[in-house]
Amino acid sequence: MTKAEVVAAISEKTGIDKMTVLATVETFMEVVKTTMIHGENIYLRGFGSFIIKQRAKKTGQNITKRKSIVIPAHKIPAFKPAKPFKDEVKKKLKVK
């Protein structure tokens, strides 16, 4: 699903015009990015958490030069779904 499809679905369900919904979705994404850039996590009860994960230093391979390289420790953004959300998805997508 694309951002445009999300905006259309929200607009249809709420009756709010698409431009207002688009502005709201864009603002939400900007708040999430800005907050995470400042090193803070975002917790949405019942939905999930946008968190900063710490990756440890490790050794990797540059396959074009056939040399080992050191990948330094770094932080990455991640999403961790809440248990009720995860359970509902598992239930609906159960293999038959």
- pLDDT, one tens digit per residue, over 19-56 is 999 999 999 999 999 999 999 999 999 999 999 999 99
Mention the CATH class of domain 41-96: few secondary structures
Residue 8 and residue 15 in contact, taking contact as beta carbons nearer than 8 Å: no
Closest-CA residue to 10 (of 2, 22, 1): 22
Determine the pLDDT at residue 30.
Answer: 97
Determine the pLDDT at residue 16.
Answer: 97
Helix (H) or strand (E) holding 81: strand 74-81
- DSSP tag of 56: P
d(C-alpha 22, C-alpha 84), whole Å: 27
Domain layout of the chain by residue ranges: 1-40, 41-96
End-to-end alpha carbon distance in the chain: 24
